[in-house]
């Protein structure tokens, strides 16, 4: 019984709440949400919202926010209909004007938390853009991007209109249209090439001024980069075109794999429109995905990232040849340090167990197997790189010959090998510059053969080696004759000594230049018409003493060299001093005489004067042609004791031994003696003059 008494009041209370709560909710008013302005024109606007219960609709609005909770200048627009989805059309609005508003349903008011909602009516002339920002991407034609911008233009009257970029000017027109009358018109234009930032897009008439019909919208240009191609092999030249950067902006581009730098940074500078271009060569790097990071040079900042894929590639050098020929195969863009790489020729493995380096690169040499003349495929694959991922290269097997050595001297044995001939073909012969040097060469069942000949006398340079058979047309290659010095004698000598030299393999009938230690022999010498040389010359003056290089070169550049030792030669004749000899001279303008070489004009003399016997020269004179020399007034010696000596020098700079040092003394008369003599002479002259004068007076 006690439980029943407790439950009765609870049930009665719940029934009371059920009756009271709806009334409280109605007294509080409906809940307003979703206030929105879906359409705006020059003179109208539609305001919509929803409530959780049915209610009437009202919008309070004005050009200013209400003061003291009241709207001063604009009327209310009530709609008594009881709905949950509310819509009020405001009419008679002023174009290009901002309005503030609040919505009312029943006793509920939504004024956006006291801030009030707002909208702005369209101007009589209006322009909107879609999109309002974008990137150039690429140029559709010069100075015009492939980015398409949609325009919605509202005009108050018919006429011709212009859409201008950055300013109202005829030069900046990007699109035109003709309006039949007032209304809204849609059109598109391609974004002009432009630098980064906000750009004005104008709606104007044909007068391009701001006094007539006009409207403006803003378009934001963002930077972009386009790369071509987007994937490729090592060595691919990737062209990067950047648009929408800042004017004159410094640009840095670097290739990365993740956060690892894989190439050197390249730089460019944007032009006045923020555009730039560069070519980036993909460096040696493993296969995979990479990014070109674009940003300020020498920084980690990144503005734009473009993706690039490195793919594997092989090359074969040469692309055609004969059986037995060596082909160099290079691979790039394989996996880093990839193992078990193999190279195939016509499906047959010719090289295996190749390992790539850390950049995914490798090199292998293969030999062309026995095949008939045709085109064959070379391919490669590895532990992770499949053959189908690699573009194969084509190699053409042709009838051909090879010579060894390809650079040879006259008389060397030249080995000629042939391949691609008909099996067992007869009548095979080899010619050098059209002259048969080998004949009746047997050919095996695979069309291969070998023969040899000695390189005959021939001039420097390339000579044609040709081979042919009864069914195989002539195939050719070349052998290059090299210049060589055969003999020279003697192997050493002093300047002026005669040298004889022979050689072959030079160009025919050309002037020769011969140097020893870099000194030209300066003699008129030539090669013979067949490229042989038989010459004589003298060791040139000034050749450095010791082991030197003797170089012979013709006008066409054919050259050879040998070692030659330049020695020193002392002339056999030593000059004999004559005068002065132990003399005391009163004048410093001394005349020296000696006995030298007679009857030969190829010698000169060098005179040396010193203050000590045998050394310490204070004066010397070279190139004296005669066997005497007188010091000039400028060369005159002051008072003192001196020693003089002389030596002979020939035209090649060889010298004799110096003569003995001969002593002499210069002792000029003292100045005071000359003063006394002068005074005595003066007195004598005065006495004579006096006597003559006295005699005349007496008479």
The pLDDT tens digits for 218-265 are: 999 999 999 999 999 999 999 999 999 999 999 999 999 998 999 899
The pLDDT tens digits for 342-353 are: 999 999 999 999
Contact 547, 473 (CB under 8 A): no
**Among 330, 362, 397, residue at a domain's last position:** 397
Q: Which domain holds residue 52?
A: 27-120
Q: Where does the pLDDT of residue 183 fall: very low under 50, low under 70, confident under 90, or very high at 90 and above?
A: confident
**Is a pLDDT exceeding 90 seen at residue 97?**
no
Instruction: Report the C-alpha gap between 4 and 12 in whole angstroms.
Output: 13
Whether 644 maps to a domain, the answer reads: yes
* Residue whose entry in the numeric block shows the structure tokens 């050493």: 492
Contact 446, 417 (CB under 8 A): no
- The average pLDDT across 658-680 equals 82
Same domain, 423 and 454: yes
Whether 8 maps to a domain, the answer reads: no
Count of CB atoms situated within 10 Å of the CB of 619: 13
- Structural tokens at position 308: 């690039």
Same domain, 348 and 436: no
Same domain, 525 and 541: yes
**Among 69, 95, 120, residue at a domain's last position:** 120
Q: Where does the pLDDT of residue 435 fall: very low under 50, low under 70, confident under 90, or very high at 90 and above?
A: very high
Same domain, 650 and 562: no
Count of CB atoms situated within 10 Å of the CB of 612: 12
Instruction: Report the C-alpha gap between 383 and 312 in whole angstroms.
Output: 13
CATH number of domain containing 331: 2.60.40.1930
**Among 455, 481, 507, residue at a domain's last position:** 481
Helix/strand/coil percentages in the chain, nearest 5: 10, 50, 40
First to last CA, the chain: 205
List strand residue ranges (DSSP E) for 282-373, in order.
Answer: 288-295, 304-310, 313-317, 320-321, 326-332, 341-345, 348-354, 362-367
- The average pLDDT across 478-489 equals 96
**Is a pLDDT exceeding 90 seen at residue 605?**
yes
CATH number of domain containing 68: 2.60.40.10
Contact 428, 450 (CB under 8 A): no
Contact 472, 421 (CB under 8 A): yes
The pLDDT tens digits for 314-369 are: 999 999 988 888 999 999 999 999 999 999 999 999 999 999 999 999 999 999 98
For residue 423, the model assigns a pLDDT of 87
Same domain, 377 and 420: no
Same domain, 389 and 406: no
* Residue whose entry in the numeric block shows the structure tokens 């000598």: 493
The pLDDT tens digits for 52-67 are: 999 999 999 999 998 8
For residue 3, the model assigns a pLDDT of 37
Whether 501 maps to a domain, the answer reads: yes
The pLDDT tens digits for 198-223 are: 999 999 988 887 656 778 999 999 99
Q: Where does the pLDDT of residue 488 fall: very low under 50, low under 70, confident under 90, or very high at 90 and above?
A: very high
Same domain, 633 and 678: no
User: H or E element: which one contains 182?
Assistant: none
Whether 330 maps to a domain, the answer reads: yes
Same domain, 254 and 301: yes
Instruction: Report the C-alpha gap between 173 and 207 in whole angstroms.
Output: 12
- The average pLDDT across 189-197 equals 96
Same domain, 513 and 459: no
Whether 206 maps to a domain, the answer reads: yes
Give the rounded percent of residues in the chain with a pLDDT score beyond 70: 93
Q: Where does the pLDDT of residue 76 fall: very low under 50, low under 70, confident under 90, or very high at 90 and above?
A: low
For residue 598, the model assigns a pLDDT of 78
* Residue whose entry in the numeric block shows the structure tokens 């082991």: 547
**Is a pLDDT exceeding 90 seen at residue 143?**
yes
Same domain, 473 and 518: no
Same domain, 450 and 531: no
**Is a pLDDT exceeding 50 seen at residue 415?**
yes
Mean per-residue pLDDT over the chain, rounded: 90
Contact 103, 34 (CB under 8 A): no
Same domain, 294 and 319: no
Contact 104, 87 (CB under 8 A): no
How many structural domains is the chain composed of? 8
Q: Where does the pLDDT of residue 644 fall: very low under 50, low under 70, confident under 90, or very high at 90 and above?
A: very high
Burial grade of 526 (CB within 10 A; 0-12, 13-18, 19 or more): middle
Whether 528 maps to a domain, the answer reads: yes
Instruction: Report the C-alpha gap between 377 and 381 in whole angstroms.
Output: 13
Whether 22 maps to a domain, the answer reads: no
For residue 294, give Cα distances in angstroms to 226, 235, 278, 463, 605. 11, 20, 12, 55, 78
**Is a pLDDT exceeding 60 seen at residue 5?**
no
For residue 19, the model assigns a pLDDT of 46
């Amino acid at each position: 019984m006690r439980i029943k008494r407790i439950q009765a009041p609870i049930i009665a209370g719940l029934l009371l709440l059920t009756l009271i709560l709806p009334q409280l909710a109605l007294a509080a008013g409906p809940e307003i949400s979703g206030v929105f302005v879906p359409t705006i024109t020059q003179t109208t606007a539609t305001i919509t919202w929803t409530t959780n219960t049915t209610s009437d609709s009202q919008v309070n609005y004005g050009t200013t926010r209400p003061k003291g909770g009241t709207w001063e200048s604009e009327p209310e627009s009530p709609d008594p209909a009881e709905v949950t989805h509310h819509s009020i059309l405001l009419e008679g609005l002023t174009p290009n004007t901002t309005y503030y508003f609040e919505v009312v349903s029943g006793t509920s008011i939504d004024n956006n938390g006291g801030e009030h909602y707002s909208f702005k009516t369209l101007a009589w002339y209006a322009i909107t853009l879609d999109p309002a920002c974008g990137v150039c991407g690429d140029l559709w034609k010069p100075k015009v991007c492939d980015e398409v911008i949609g325009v919605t233009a509202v005009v108050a009257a018919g006429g011709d209109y212009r859409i201008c970029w950055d300013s109202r000017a005829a030069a900046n027109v990007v699109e035109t249209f003709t309006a039949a009358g007032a209304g809204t018109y849609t059109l598109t234009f391609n974004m002009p090439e432009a630098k980064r930032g906000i750009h004005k897009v104008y709606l104007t008439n044909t007068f391009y001024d701001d006094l007539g019909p006009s409207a403006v919208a803003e378009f934001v240009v963002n930077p972009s980069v386009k790369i071509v191609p987007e994937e490729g092999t090592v060595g691919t030249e990737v062209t990067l075109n950047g648009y929408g950067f800042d004017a004159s902006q410094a640009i840095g581009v670097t290739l990365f794999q993740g956060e690892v730098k894989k190439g050197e940074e390249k730089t460019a500078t944007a032009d006045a429109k923020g555009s730039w271009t560069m070519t980036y060569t993909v460096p040696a790097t493993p296969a995979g995905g990479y990014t070109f990071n674009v940003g300020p040079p020498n920084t980690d900042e990144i503005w734009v990232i473009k993706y690039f894929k490195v793919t594997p590639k092989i090359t074969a050098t040469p692309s055609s040849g004969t059986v037995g020929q060596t082909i160099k195969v290079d691979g790039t863009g394989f996996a880093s340090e990839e193992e078990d790489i193999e190279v195939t020729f016509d499906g047959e493995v010719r090289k295996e167990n190749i390992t790539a380096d850390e950049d995914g690169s490798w090199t292998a040499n293969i030999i062309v197997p026995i095949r008939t003349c045709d085109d064959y495929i070379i391919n490669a694959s590895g532990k992770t790189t499949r053959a189908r991922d690699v573009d194969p290269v084509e190699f053409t097997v042709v009838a051909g010959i090879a010579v060894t050595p390809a650079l040879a001297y006259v008389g060397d044995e030249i080995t000629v090998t042939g391949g691609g001939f008909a099996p067992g073909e007869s009548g095979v012969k080899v010619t050098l510059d059209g002259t048969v040097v080998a004949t009746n060469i047997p050919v095996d069942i695979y069309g291969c053969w070998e023969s040899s000949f000695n390189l005959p006398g021939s001039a420097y340079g390339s000579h044609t080696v040709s081979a042919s058979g009864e069914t195989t047309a002539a195939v050719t290659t070349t052998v290059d004759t090299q210049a060589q010095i055969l003999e020279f004698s003697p192997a050493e000598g002093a300047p002026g000594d005669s040298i004889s030299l022979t050689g072959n393999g030079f160009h025919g009938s050309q002037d020769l230049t011969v140097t020893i230690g870099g000194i030209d022999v300066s003699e008129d010498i030539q090669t013979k018409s067949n490229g042989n040389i038989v010459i004589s010359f003298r060791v040139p003056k000034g050749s450095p003493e010791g082991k030197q290089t003797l170089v012979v070169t013709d006008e066409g550049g054919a050259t050879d060299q040998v070692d030659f030792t330049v020695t020193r030669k002392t002339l056999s004749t030593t000059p004999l001093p004559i005068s002065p000899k132990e003399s005391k001279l009163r004048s410093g303008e001394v005349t020296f005489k000696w006995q030298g070489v007679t009857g030969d004009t190829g010698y000169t003399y060098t005179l040396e004067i010193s203050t000590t016997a045998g050394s310490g020269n204070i004066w010397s004179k070279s190139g004296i042609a005669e066997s005497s020399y007188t010091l000039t007034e400028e060369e005159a010696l002051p008072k003192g004791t001196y020693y003089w000596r002389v030596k002979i020098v020939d035209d090649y700079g060889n010298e004799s031994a110096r003569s003995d040092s001969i002593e002499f003394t210069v002792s000029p008369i003292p100045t005071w003696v000359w003063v006394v003599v002068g005074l005595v002479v003066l007195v004598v002259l005065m006495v004579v003059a006096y006597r003559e004068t006295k005699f005349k007076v007496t008479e």
